[in-house]
Chains A and B, each alone.
Chain A
Amino acid sequence: MGGFVLRRAVMAIPLIGLSSFVVFCLVAVSGDPLGELRANPNVPRETIELRRQQLNLDEPLLERYGLWLSNAVTGDFGKDVRGREVTERIAAAAGVTLRLVVGAVVVALLLGVTIGVIAALRQYSGFDYVSTFLAFVFFSMPVFWLAAVLKDVGIRVNDLFDINFFKTVGEKSVSVDGGWLATWSDRLGHMVLPVLTLVLLQMAGWSRFQRGAMLEVLNADYVRTAKAKGLRKRQVVLRHALRNALIPIVTLVAIDFGLLISGTVITETVYGWDGMGRLLTNSVIAGDVNVVQAWLLLAATAVVAFNLLADIVYGYLDPRIRHG
């Protein structure tokens, strides 16, 4: 098992490195990092020149990459367009996104697994058909549209009941009167809708997946053997079916979590959260190369790291791989 983990970890590093190079090239060809500065009449020539030097724009591409990489491995990702440390900006944004994502993942996982398992146990029942149909509907829904619909619904509900619970902009209000209860309630009000958006979409996929995994297990030979031994139906489902059926979803969740770190762009844009998503769009528009580069590296690392985590967890849960 240790060897297995070590091998995968060792393979992960060049993968991230290669990914960062590909991405560096894409960013390099995707536009002029000095364009925004040049377009702004208030920016003095010296600032532009300083920026050019910062970004080593006079060097050929490979050299630039090398310089960037050598700094990156020490944790120095340079400065953004306005001179702020890129590391700080990304850390702050990542924190916001994590606050959004962690809650959503936990809720979506609990609901998704439960729905999927029940749908499989009651295959072809009304519950199964309805949950399947709803899952398909959410698959087919653009994130931004769902987010905007929920936003609209939140506002209407607010009006309808003359309350101001559902907040639709930002992570928290600028100032809140009252003690910690008011603060928490405010935070909650800001969180509900964006988290709900993410939950609905993730849950759709996970419940379908869990349903499939559960069905496959329920039809497996060893479940029939368990019944043949005289086990009660509940014991068969819990001890044999469920235990095996829950293994695949764990890895899927790990992988999806890695993807979500970079995948909340739209939700954050619609709800005005200053997380990773907004950071990216703003930086791309501003031509802020250092931020975009570091962002993409973090995203790729998250994907690879969580894939590795998924493999490790799966290897731990499935004895066939643990001993393989």
Chain B
Amino acid sequence: MTGAEGPRTVDGPLLEVSDLEVTFRSPDGLVQAVRGVSFSVSAGEVLGIVGESGSGKSVSLLAVMGLLPAGAKVSGSIRYRGTELVGMPEPQRRRLRGNDIAMIFQDPMTALNPVLSVGFQIAEAIEVHEPGIRREAAMVKAAEMLDLVGIPNASERARQFPHEFSGGMLQRTMIAMAIANNPDVLIADEPTTALDVTIQAQILELLERVQDTTGSAILLVTHDLGVIAGMADRVTVMYAGRVAETGEVLDVFGHPRHPYTLGLLESLPRLDEDARSRLVPIGGNPPSLLHPPPACPFHPRCRFAELICSQETPLLRPIQGGHQSACHFAERLAEVRAS
């Protein structure tokens, strides 16, 4: 359980990531998955992180949770309620995991243990952080959580096994498991990607409801811009292990200031477009994480690229208010707005 004060009583961001760098050693060389990423999220807020596979978004989440594999090197700063997590000894870190900072994963069908009952797995999350509690009490609480997330016949269902649940119900269960200890920060890694579209909406709605009730911060990672637009307050766009653009959702999506964001938006089919007009993909290939392009990682695929882009790394700089962009020519994009 978190401290006596709820998340809302904290001043400033609950979770603050600064200049995070994560590298792995692979048989082919050093993989630079995250190269200097910063973001933050406050109570009651939803921060969306958008990017392709390979952008470093999932690795960043795992770094926050402390769930990276053994060979990973992490540098930079991750502060939760002002306490530094990078370099924190594991026993302390573990106490935060599932308790103050919780995570739900992409594929609910494989994320739960098939041989243990659903209720047990939720009760386990409770027992770990509430050492005195008895098994029966934890199971009762688990059933309550299932009920909270909208599973009918919760107490019966709690004794069932994951294969007896549908995908949507399993994801609800994952959420129940994650919020069982009232975490301040809820991290969701592509929570709806593996689900049907209709179920997606239900899950997102559930997450919103959870946030309204508990006031927790939500870090929502996805590659689906629509999900971000519907749910997030702020968005951070990642590319090749770096932040390309960040700001309020309306600002970033309405007035993109990075060619990558522009490209993403342009490649979406839109209802208000001429049905016969072609989709505009982003040309080129995703960058290699072993040998990322020098300076601006997007420059090989960028239609605005000039010589400086391959020589000088553009830093994330403020454009207007909280809206920031890592592009030398961010201002130029103001003129080139997609229709």
Contacts and interface: CB of A to CB of B under 8 A. Distances in A.
Interface of A: 220-222, 224-232, 235, 239-240, 243-244, 247, 317-320, 323
Contacts of A231: 94, 98, 124, 128
A49 B125 CA distance: 79
A228 B163 contact: no
B128 A319 contact: no
Chain B contact-residue range equals 20 to 34
Contacts of B322: none
A222 B114 contact: yes
A114 to B, nearest CB: 21
B161 interface: yes
Contacts of B163: 319-320, 323
B97 A320 contact: no
B112 A230 contact: no
A238 to B, nearest CB: 12
Nearest to B126: A229
B99 interface: yes
B185 interface: no
A230 B96 CA distance: 7
Contacts of A230: 94-99, 125, 128-129
B20 interface: no
Contact of B107 (A221, A228, A240, A319): A221
Interface in B121-151: 124-125, 128-129
Most buried by B among A224, A226, A228, A232: A228
Contact of B113 (A226, A227, A228): A226
B191 to A, nearest CB: 13
Nearest to A231: B128
A232 B163 CA distance: 26
Contact of A229 (B114, B128, B161): B128
Given A320-B163, A323-B161, A228 B97 contact: yes
Most buried by B among A222, A225, A240, A319: A225
B67 interface: yes
Contact of A240 (B65, B113, B174): B113
Interface in B243-264: none
B115 A243 contact: yes
B99 A222 contact: no
Contacts of B110: 220-222
A228 B94 CA distance: 9
Given A225-B113, A227-B97, 16 more contacts: A221-B111, A224-B105, A225-B111, A226-B124, A228-B67, A228-B103, A228-B105, A229-B98, A229-B125, A230-B95, A230-B98, A230-B128, A230-B129, A231-B128, A244-B115, A319-B115
